[in-house]
Structure 1
Amino acid sequence: MSCTVVLGAQWGDEGKGKIVDILTEKADVVARYSGGHNAGHTVVIGGVKYVLHLIPSGIMHGEKINIIGNGVVIDPKALLDEMNDLKTKGVTFGKGFYISKRAHVIFPFHGIIDRLREEIKGSKKIGTTGRGIGPTYAEKAARNGIRICDLFDKEVFREKLEQNVKEANFLLEQKYSSDKLDVDAIYEEYLGYAEQIRPFIAETEYLLNELYDSGKKVMMEGAQGSLLDVDFGTYPFVTSSSSTAGGACTGTGLSPVKINKIVGVLKAYTTRVGGGPFPTELFDEDGERLRKVGNEYGATTGRPRRCGWQDLVAVKYGVIVNGITHIALTKLDVLTGMPKLKVCVGYKINGEVTAVFPPEIKNLETCEPVYEVFDGWNEDISKIQNYDELPKNAKAYLDFIKKFLGISYCLVSVGTDRKETMLIEDVF
């Protein structure tokens, strides 16, 4: 029996989908523990691209068990659309796919409020996807949320929905001057969704623990990245859930003592979507090249990602708060052909250099990155399967990152396809 957590070590979009897909070869169970359909994981298999938003990446392996945990917020329509899209590509949903009864439900008013709140913030907006994730988690924390299990008790569901719609209509009318919502229409719509997802509903906390105790290898799949965690990220420019390793436990019901390894997925450079501080962000030709060659556009929204040099101050912080044991480095191939590469090893704040990732947004916005500079390489590395066969300069770059963070690689990705990966150390 074993459990490995896979999470983003930066601001998300590190390529977790591909990593989970590869590591699932050794796993029996894949469980998603946080976020909603604002997240997007892209998996490329045999040249075919699969974009996943809610469903664990293990679904690409028909014999694996896939679980959406209680820490995930679910838009049933988005979930069903995603399932139908995958079905057209040959993916099947049988007894190996489960949804937690305790997961909270996203309703239309959550998305409306989310978008309106962003609109009135103007230049101070966070940069959310507007899909209702934040308002749903806020409702959950305020103890007013509606869970998946509530959808199957018509009386309970109706009572809770009426109260929530009443509050939403008050906000929409009084604060946002928006049209009222029709509770009857929402009620009937969501009862229909409930019937469609009924075959997959389970008390996943019991199921997951039973699977672990029976000797199964479990993989926990995070969404977003450590620096977007609601507690440890660049608040308030964060997501609304616990995207760090702690969220794997609260988002599934599996005890921390059952976690054996924690894999931090790390892009060879750094990207960020939406607002918020980004110390190593590039606004020049190098930044544009990273975006173009790396195809840095959101899998969910299509938004262009902000691109910058590798920031090891931020990543080291992620290693500390997560207890990361291994690095899965992605997109090393994107750096091929760049004459010089930079890696941030410190921040100069108010005249002093520090290696501490500060909580103050102002310090992160105004700090001056302290860089180490490396020579690049021109050789095509996409077909290399052995670490020692990499170009000298590529190895020097990777070795520096590994030494700075004080942990080893479990794999290095050198291309988009599943096969374009160097497997270095087993994490199960």
Structure 2
Amino acid sequence: MKGRTDIVIGVQWGDEGKGRVVDVLAADAGVVVRYQGGANAGHTVVVDNEKYVFHLLPSGILYQGKSCVIGNGVVVDPDTLFEELDGLAARGKKTAKLVVSHAAHIVMPYHKIIDRLAEGARSEGTKIGTTGRGIGPCYADKYERIGIRAEDLVNPEVLRDKLTRTLKIKNDILTKIYGAEPLDFGEIYEKALAWGRRIEPMLGDAFLEIDEAVKSGGNVLFEGAQATLLDIDHGTYPFVTSSSPCAGGACTGSGFGPSRIDRVIGVAKAYCTRVGEGPFPTEENGEAGETLRQKGGEFGATTGRPRRCGWCDLVAVDYAVKVNGLDGIALTKLDVLDEFDEIKICTAYEIDGKIRKTFPSSCAELAKAKPVYETLPGWKCDISKCRSFDELPQAARDYVKYIEDKAETPVVLIGVGAGREDTIRRGL
């Protein structure tokens, strides 16, 4: 008997609530796989009124008896990984088994330093809005074939050889381009060896863990970080992340073939947010935006900085449906809209005086887009206790159905609060 395989991805610019969706769906899965990104992502899970924020650990880590996999497509900051594991242990939490791919690349101290220096050197209008966690520089080293992989941390001679060559390059960059102090080889080498001693029991062939689970009838859940519009290829380049959060990234980032994927679930907020720079057509800078920010708690899980907020953009949702081949949408934070008399929803853009219903491939063109809105009535009541679709007020049901109709994709899960139990499942 073959197990079911699902991918959970973000539909917008991230922060859609993928962590809580994965946490809900992980109850039916044997393995949860994180397949890209690094500690620049923050996935929030609330269980029994306790809040957990995971930057590297898969969101299924709280299910004892299951397996969590950090795939080859992830860049791992060992300090962050160990900090999260130690934090759970300090809270008395027993966790899932953790497997870290031997091929995952390691975020080194020089990656973080160069990340911050490079962002600081960019002029206004060209800043990316990086978190400074070293993610981009680590991926750059991966593709330049000078990166340090998890397997290198447990091989002192290989590590010494690789680090000697790479650190020479990095110190040249630090001193000659940024005028910074060079880094000490011995200090970084000893730190990396210490990482290796701790991570060694976790290392494994991630793709085999996944393959064996599926063959034995277990369900596997692939968890994406960031989101479609931040994808390095399909997002609003250059204001994107350094990896592929789209559904295709789940296959390359884990070693699991695309023909074996059963469903792709896209997570979208009932409104929209963005962190960092880049175009955001439905952004609201006035009272509506501030209400969304405060009611939705829209402050970055990784950086704490306020998120830009605006209305739901169905042009972007339609794009994500097509790029990822979505089978269903998980609509989160519907309850945040409880207080609004009217709710706007973007159905098209006006660009240079022309109406456009498809998402522009050019970031420059998107920056000129003005949203064309439809306005729907609000429901003006608390929906946080609703546990079935029929319990929602008519206006809330109409809002969900409007999104389904325009996206031509069923809404299969609705979030009406932050907790695991604050969920309406429709076909999942």
TM-score bracket for this pair, using the shorter chain length: over 0.9
Q: Specify the SS of the correspondent of 2:411.
A: strand
Q: Once structures 1 and 2 are overlaid, which stretch shifts more, 347-356 or 291-300? A: 347-356
What CA deviation, in whole Å up to 9, does each residue of 1:79-126 have, x standing for no partner?
1011111112222356x2110000000001001111111001131200
Q: 2:90 maps to what in 1?
A: 88
1:116 aligns with 2:117: yes
Q: 1:331 maps to what in 2?
A: 333
**Aligned-partner Cα distance in 2 for 1:39–1:13:** 9
Name segments (4+ residues, structure 1) moved above 4 Å. Answer: none
Q: 1:250 maps to what in 2?
A: 252
Q: 2:304 maps to what in 1?
A: 302
Q: Specify the SS of the correspondent of 2:122.
A: helix
Of 25, 28, 34, the match for 1:26: 28
Q: 2:189 maps to what in 1?
A: 187
Give the number of aligned pairs: 425
Preserved contact between residue 341 and residue 375 of structure 1 (Cα < 8 Å)? yes
**Aligned-partner Cα distance in 1 for 2:129–2:373:** 28
Of 387, 396, 404, the match for 2:389: 387
Preserved contact between residue 59 and residue 91 of structure 1 (Cα < 8 Å)? no
1:261 aligns with 2:273: no
Percent of paired sites with the same residue? 50
Preserved contact between residue 229 and residue 243 of structure 1 (Cα < 8 Å)? yes
**Aligned-partner Cα distance in 2 for 1:397–1:206:** 43
Preserved contact between residue 330 and residue 412 of structure 2 (Cα < 8 Å)? yes
Q: Specify the SS of the correspondent of 2:161.
A: helix
CA RMSD of aligned residues (A): 0.9
**Aligned-partner Cα distance in 2 for 1:182–1:315:** 47
Give the letter aligned to residue 97 of structure 1. Answer: L
**Aligned-partner Cα distance in 2 for 1:236–1:321:** 18
Preserved contact between residue 62 and residue 95 of structure 2 (Cα < 8 Å)? no
**Aligned-partner Cα distance in 2 for 1:93–1:64:** 8
1:353 aligns with 2:355: yes
Of 217, 220, 233, the match for 2:219: 217
Preserved contact between residue 4 and residue 218 of structure 1 (Cα < 8 Å)? yes
Preserved contact between residue 282 and residue 307 of structure 1 (Cα < 8 Å)? yes
Q: Specify the SS of the correspondent of 2:267.
A: strand
**Aligned-partner Cα distance in 2 for 1:45–1:405:** 31
**Aligned-partner Cα distance in 1 for 2:385–2:159:** 54
Give the letter aligned to residue 350 of structure 1. Answer: D
**Aligned-partner Cα distance in 1 for 2:79–2:95:** 16
What CA deviation, in whole Å up to 9, does each residue of 1:280-326 have, x standing for no partner?
00000000000000000011110100000000101110110100101
Q: 1:105 maps to what in 2?
A: 106
1:416 aligns with 2:418: yes
Of 368, 372, 375, the match for 1:373: 375
Give the letter aligned to residue 122 of structure 1. Answer: S
Q: Specify the SS of the correspondent of 1:161.
A: helix
* 1:53-72 paired onto structure 2 within 5 Å: 53-72=55-74
Q: Specify the SS of the correspondent of 1:58.
A: coil
What CA deviation, in whole Å up to 9, does each residue of 1:187-229 have, x standing for no partner?
0011001111111110111221121112110000000011100
1:142 aligns with 2:144: yes
Q: 1:403 maps to what in 2?
A: 405
Q: Specify the SS of the correspondent of 1:59.
A: coil
Q: TM-score, normalised by structure 1?
A: 0.98
Give the letter aligned to residue 160 of structure 1. Answer: K
Preserved contact between residue 333 and residue 414 of structure 1 (Cα < 8 Å)? yes
What CA deviation, in whole Å up to 9, does each residue of 1:248-287 have, x standing for no partner?
0000001101100000001000000000110000000000
Q: TM-score, normalised by structure 2?
A: 0.98
In the TM superposition, what is the alpha-carbon distance from 1:49 to its structure 2 partner?
0.3
Q: Specify the SS of the correspondent of 1:358.
A: coil
**Aligned-partner Cα distance in 2 for 1:90–1:224:** 29
**Aligned-partner Cα distance in 2 for 1:267–1:302:** 19
What CA deviation, in whole Å up to 9, does each residue of 1:364-396 have, x standing for no partner?
111111111111111110000110121111111
Q: Once structures 1 and 2 are overlaid, which stretch shifts more, 356-365 or 339-348? A: 356-365
1:47 aligns with 2:44: no
Q: 1:208 maps to what in 2?
A: 210
Q: 2:323 maps to what in 1?
A: 321
* 1:136-175 paired onto structure 2 within 5 Å: 136-175=138-177
Preserved contact between residue 63 and residue 95 of structure 2 (Cα < 8 Å)? no
In the TM superposition, what is the alpha-carbon distance from 1:146 to its structure 2 partner?
1.0
In the TM superposition, what is the alpha-carbon distance from 1:421 to its structure 2 partner?
0.8
Q: Specify the SS of the correspondent of 1:24.
A: helix
**Aligned-partner Cα distance in 1 for 2:91–2:320:** 36
Q: Specify the SS of the correspondent of 1:165.
A: helix
